[in-house]
Amino acid sequence: MALYQGSYSNFAARRAARHGKTKQYKAALEKKENANNSVVKQVENTQTNPTVSKKDEGRLKVGHPEVMSYPSAKGMEENTGDSLLIKCFKYIPPSISATYELEQRRAPEGGGSYMGNKYEGGQTIMTTKNGKSVPKLFPKAGSATFSNDGASKKLKNSKEIFYVELPIPQDINDSNSVTWSDDNMNIFQIAGLAAVSSVMKGEFSFEDAKNLIQAGIGDDAIADENLKDQLTTIISGKAIDALGNNINTGSALGRQTGSILNSNLELLFNGVNLRTFPFSINFSPRTKGESDMVKYIIRAFKSSMAAKKNSNDLAQGGAFLSAPDVFSLEYRHGTSLHPFLNSFKHCALTGMNVNYTQSGTYATYGDGTPVNLRMNLTFKELNPIYFEDYDEKEMPIENGVGY
């Protein structure tokens, strides 16, 4: 009996808590619905009422609100569930810069001249600035540092133009890849590469490098009769090939000696790849407010992915076009980042397709709004993923699997 009473007490507590949550949800839902209706009215007023404030007119001049979400009224489970949050930003191109320290310099021992001026040994090199003679500053050797900031890094602290909250897609995945490729190099190419590397480091002259290669394949190596035959065959093949008979060195070596040069075949890292993310979102508007919101969402993505003309006076936009807007994507769990799913770098919207007859037939409401639509979006990240992006300080495990 005591166990039953305890169980009943727990049930009663849960029921009371759920009732409280229901009240909170209804209040939040009413607030959100009022906000959505306010946004819809604001957009309609902007298009029809010339007395709308300058600030609102500038924000809404493209025909959509700054904050958009679908569906407008969510159920209790959906309200605390998962969603896809897409923010739009103005594109900022990557930048490359160099920084270095400056120092004074003195004339070398024995003196010298600089810019037509003669200096004694150890004397500070001077220049004229604002009519005064001041020490000339030169870049300090070894102090130069180069910065190559990608677009994603430049966009980190930007303010969003608008954002859209959508139901989390049903088919979500990520695919990471890098490029590795086969590479081969025979012993003579390896020897030449090693010698050239030594020359570039200043360890040898080109004449020393030549002697080094000859020493490497001579002496003891040349004493091997088989290697002598192979070298002779290679030289003969090259000589005949120079006459235009197109004899392959490997073929000549195989026919004469029954052996080939070791290709030292190896798989080598060749580059990084950019990730692509396709998303499909279904819309089934249930009210006039939702219908308008779907229209604004589609318009917002279409306008933001379009290139920008630098001049409104020319039909084709003049000599140059500006890049479209870019986006950041987040999987949300309630009001925070999703604790498991992957993260994204900033993306470009490279493709968009809207099917206005998703139900298989043309059907609309009285105002012409399609009963069922599907919007397909294809995003591509601006920058590749690197090992350093998984830094524990930047991406704690609580934020999911990482990029």
Domain regions of the chain by residue span: 1-58, 62-90+163-176+274-403, 101-143, 181-270
Compute the average pLDDT of residues 224-244.
53
pLDDT at 125 over 60: yes
| Confidence at residue 156, expressed as pLDDT on a 0 to 100 scale | 80
**Phi-psi label, residue 27: left if phi above 0, alpha if psi -120 to 50, beta otherwise:** alpha
The string of DSSP letters for 291-340 reads: HHHHHHHHHHHHHHTS-EES-SSSTT-SS-EEPPPEEEEEEEETTEE-SS
Give the DSSP letter of residue 370. B
- For residues 165 and 301, what is the distance between their CA atoms, to the nearest angstrom? 13
- For residues 345 and 384, what is the distance between their CA atoms, to the nearest angstrom? 8
The two three-digit tokens of residue 92, written as one number: 């900022």
| Cα atoms found within 13 Å of the Cα of residue 81, Cβ hemisphere only | 14
Runs of H (alpha helix) within 148-287: 151-154, 187-200, 206-217, 225-240, 249-257
| Confidence at residue 230, expressed as pLDDT on a 0 to 100 scale | 54
The dihedral of CA 135, 136, 137, 142: what is its sign?
Answer: negative
- For residues 35 and 39, what is the distance between their CA atoms, to the nearest angstrom? 6
CB 325 within 8 A of CB 89: yes
CB 118 within 8 A of CB 164: no
The β-bridge partners of 333 are 82, 336
The number of residues in the chain equals 403
pLDDT tens track for 332-373: 998 888 999 999 999 999 999 999 999 899 999 999 999 999
Q: What is the pTM of this model?
A: 0.67
pLDDT tens track for 192-219: 666 666 666 666 555 655 555 555 555 4
Which residues have C-beta within 8 Å of that of residue 172, sequence separation ≥ 6? 279, 331, 341
Compute the average pLDDT of residues 57-81.
67
